[in-house]
Amino acid sequence: MDIASLLIQVLNAVQYGLLLFLVASGLTLVFGIMGIINLAHGSFYMLGAYLAFALTALTGSLLLAIALGVPLALAFGAALEWLLFARLYRRDHLEQVLLTYGLILIFEELRSLAVGDDVHGVAVPSLLSASIALNKTLSYPVYRIAVSVVCIAIAAGLYLLIRRTRLGMMIRAGSHDRDMVQSLGIDIDRLYRVVFALGVALAALAGMLAAPISSVFPGMGSQVLIVSFVIVVIGGIGSVWGAFLASLLVGFADTFGKVLLPDFAGLVVYVVMAIVLLLRPEGILGKKAAP
């Protein structure tokens, strides 16, 4: 493998890992802070991809579709939390699994009725349709680089939100002791609604950004959900920064596994997870359970 080919694979691994981070960060927020096992989280990724397809066809611009789609995803997440998920906080995990699995079936059926079961493509914005030449024969799309830059900016924004704002302070406190935060006069129900809506919006945004790269197709949410749970486990439940590191690790493992070990590519990510859990059962940045 020459330098240009290696660079392309590294860039692909980073871009894929950062996209996974957008999905997994929302999942780890909902799972680690709210205590909800949300099997429907991958459906929000699918929702974003289909929003990109529909809104791009309507407006003629993916960038405008994203600008419209993110607020719609936030509103949808807040409404869904208010209607359904707010009733799960005191329930056991089996009820959470049953409800969220039911939502997967509902979302898939609604998608089939609305747009059918065909595979759809989304055009790359003309502003980002160029490629950067790496040598005489190989080049790398500007759009993929732009996606990586956007994901890094969002990761930095999440850091500032969680570590440097009053809302972030309440989110961190609520993840440790819901009842204590509520006794201090903080509306924990509204706080959880904000967290859930943010998680939905992050997953939907990842789907919108990925739509021109991977196309839009039925079942795409189920694929990303499994990998996202792997990332949450590797990074440590409830740790956004653990999810960031784990996403990059999974991105490199998956990309180079397909290049170097194509016959075993499907196993590489799970082997990495097993190794991490053997060395650190709580995950990379997870907290050890109290004895």
Q: Is the per-residue pLDDT at 141 higher than 70?
A: yes
Nearest CA to 171 among 279, 19, 29? 29
Phi, psi of 136 (to 5 degrees): -70, -25
**For 186-206, what is the mean pLDDT?**
89
Nearest CA to 95 among 23, 39, 49, 152? 39
Q: Is the per-residue pLDDT at 79 higher than 90?
A: yes
Residue 31 belongs to what H/E stretch? helix 3-34
Among 58-67, 85-94, 135-144, 166-175, which range has the highest average pLDDT?
Answer: 58-67
**CA 88: distance to chain centroid?**
22
Place of tokens 């059918």: 116
Between 25-39, 153-167, 176-190, the lowest mean confidence (pLDDT) is in: 176-190
How many other C-beta atoms can be found within 10 angstroms of the C-beta atom of residue 266?
Answer: 12
Q: Is the per-residue pLDDT at 184 higher than 90?
A: no
Pull the structure tokens for residue 258: 């397909």
Average pLDDT, the chain: 88
Place of tokens 């290049």: 259
Q: How far apart are CA 105 and CA 254, in angstroms?
A: 28
Share of the chain above pLDDT 70, in %: 96
CA angle 125, 126, 132 (to 5 degrees): 100
Q: How far apart are CA 256 and CA 261, in angstroms?
A: 8
pLDDT attached to residue 273:
93
pLDDT attached to residue 86:
86
Q: Is 77 left (phi over 0), alpha (psi -120 to 50) or beta?
A: alpha
Phi, psi of 120 (to 5 degrees): -120, 150
How many other C-beta atoms can be found within 10 angstroms of the C-beta atom of residue 198?
Answer: 22
Crossing angle (nearest 10°) for helices 41-59 and 93-115: 20
**For 226-248, what is the mean pLDDT?**
90
Greatest alpha-carbon span in the chain: 65
Phi, psi of 132 (to 5 degrees): -100, 125
Predicted structure pTM score? 0.91
**For 80-108, what is the mean pLDDT?**
89
Pull the structure tokens for residue 10: 């590294």
Strand pairing category for 131-133 and 139-141: antiparallel
